[in-house]
Structures are given as C-alpha cells and as structure tokens.
Structure 1
Amino acid sequence: MAVMLQTLQLLVQGVKNGNDDDDGNEVHNVTCDVCENTPIRGDYYKCLQCDNFDLCAGCFERRMESKQHKSGHLLVHFRIPNELFGRTVTYDEITFAKLKQFYAKEVNESITCDGCMKSNFVGLRFKCDTCPNYDLCEKCSITYVTTKDHKLMHPLILTSHRVIVQIPVDDIELGEELGSGAFGNCYSFFHHFDI
C-alpha cells in the first residue's frame, strides 16, 4: 500500500511539474535570443541557418532580427517541447543536415514547389509564413528563390504532410448543441470553404 501511495504521489508531482504552465501553455527549455525570455512559453521557433538561435512567438510575429538572424531564414516551429511532426527529437537533432536525413524520403504529395514548379517533390518542404499557399522545396529554400509576391524577408517554416490543417475560427459556424459536460459544450459545426 505504501509503495502504491508513493507511486501515486510521484505521478501527481510529475503532472504538476509537466511541460506546461498554469495557463496551459507548453514550456520549452530554451531562451529567446532576442528578448531573452526564459523559458519560452507557448510556441517557439528555431532557426536552421543561425547557430543556436531561438525565438519566442512574440519576437517571431514582430519579425525581430539580430546581427546574425534575418526574418527570412529557414525556421522550425515547435508547439510541443521535443516533438516535431509526431516524432520525438532532441534539441541537437534540429539542424538542417539532420532534418534533411530524417525527411530524405518524404514525398510531398499534391504539393508543387513555387520556385522550380516541381510537383510531388521529395525531401524537406518549407511554407512561407506571409504568402498564402506558397511552398518551396529544399533546394529552392536554400537558394532564396523569390517571386513578385514572395520576398526575401518572408520567414520559411519547415512543414510536413503530417501536420493537421488548422481551420481559421472565422471559417467555422457552430451548429446544434450535441451535449455538454465537465469540459464545456459540444456542437456540430460547418466549415466554410473559399471556392
């Protein structure tokens, strides 16, 4: 009985000391290299072109730069600590060379690179954080391909087909209430598509 009680206490303590804060934000064991906020709470970005350069979401959204880091660099976006596209990773594994190895055989089905116009390309894929529906293959992302709309200072975020598409709140219309419980109400919903 005493062993079970100790185990239960350790479990409760582990939950309290987890990777999120009181507001439910994920806590990343890194420091923002611009505002020096530590640890970073919520989303954070790691630059793939600068040596050991991390940004909190606030500095990323304000497109903050330093002597070494420019806003148009290639970035990895973390929502959950040590997790990238469903894969557990360590901080040291997040380099351009290692990601290139991890995703060397990943086929980007139904995706066309807006730089070289190659469809279904294999390897890393980067999305522009500014331009709608703008994707670049690994080769075009490192050669800084730009277009009339896509500029050099636009951040490029590593992405994968494993990412769940997020629907903007404005595109959702709540339907009938299906029920309610301890976590709130549950509704059917409709997603409005732009055609």
Structure 2
Amino acid sequence: MNLPYDLAFLVDLKIPELLMNIAKGSVTTRDKSLSEFDESQEQEEYEQCMKWLEECKTGFSAWYKTAQESSKEDRKAMQMFVARFCDLLDVEISCDGCGVTLPGRRYRCLQCQDMDLCATCFAGGVKPAGEHTDDHDIVHLMYKCDECQAFIVGQRIHCDVCEDFDLCLGCHKKELYPPGHDSSHRVSVLPLVKCK
C-alpha cells in the first residue's frame, strides 16, 4: 500500500485545485437588472392574454394553428402567452438546451420567439441553436399569479399578509382575488428581474 506516494502524487498534480477550477468554469454567472416596465403596456399584454385564454377554451390546437399565420411579433407574443399559461393549456415546454420536459420553473428569453432553458442549462451557460444571443434578456419564470394561474412576467404583487401569495399586475388592477385575500391587505410591488 503506497498511500504516501499516492497522496504526494495527487498533491503534486494539484487535483483538488484542478477539480475546483473545472467546477467554477462550468458555471456561468449572469448580470441581473430590474426591469422598468411600462404599466400601460403590461396592462395591454394582460388584456390580450385574457382574450387568447378565452379563445383557447374552444380548442387550443385551432387557436395555435391560426397563431402561426400571424406576424413575427404577434407569434412571439403568442409564444410568451403559451409559456405563461402552459399549465392551463396543457402544453409541454422543453428545454432548448438539453431537451428535457420542463414541468414548471424555467428561464425564458424575452427577445427570442420561443426559447426556454432548465436551471442546469441556464447555470451552465448552454447556448441553444437558433436566434438566441448572450445579450438577450432572460427571465426566471418561477412565480405564478394566484388568480389567473399564469407565470408572472412583469411586476409581481406580493401580499404581505397572506402566506405565499402573488398576483400579476393585471389581476391586481382588476381586483381579481381568490378567496382569503382582499384589497385591504398590504402588498409589495416587486419589479421583474432580468438576467443576461
């Protein structure tokens, strides 16, 4: 048993340092910024999403087929709608980095028409094929509105009284609240955090 020799060999090769450098090199840190959303634009997007959600009740496939015949900007907005309401629409979203089906939280590009990443691919700096570039803004879809059930992309209204309670700006402005929450509760308005 040559343990001292093996230990000296590992120390000479600086294996622990090498492994730490490899680990650090595989994780990408991202710049974060707070979004300055235009409240009226956010309200317009909310109204459009509610209209599309109503249209999808008669059949998502037909709605989606019609959506594909729209302009590029409209298709991008429709894809964001699908990403936000995927659970209600019973649509599976896949990671554009590794292909795994994403059951919930994920990272979504705000500039690309349709680009989502799982936490592992996002942290690892995976660069998916297509139009996505490093200067695009990405949001972490992790909070859902407790009223409309959509992922919140924009200002998040967090109730300081109710436990684990968030609303999108649209539902908050329309005073659409599930049972247990009312307008007298103190809330915090949290801006959208964007990553690069």
Q: TM-score, normalised by structure 1?
A: 0.29
Q: TM-score, normalised by structure 2?
A: 0.29
Flag the structure with higher strand content. 1
Flag the structure with higher helix content. 2
Greater relative contact order (Cα < 8 A, sep 6+): 2
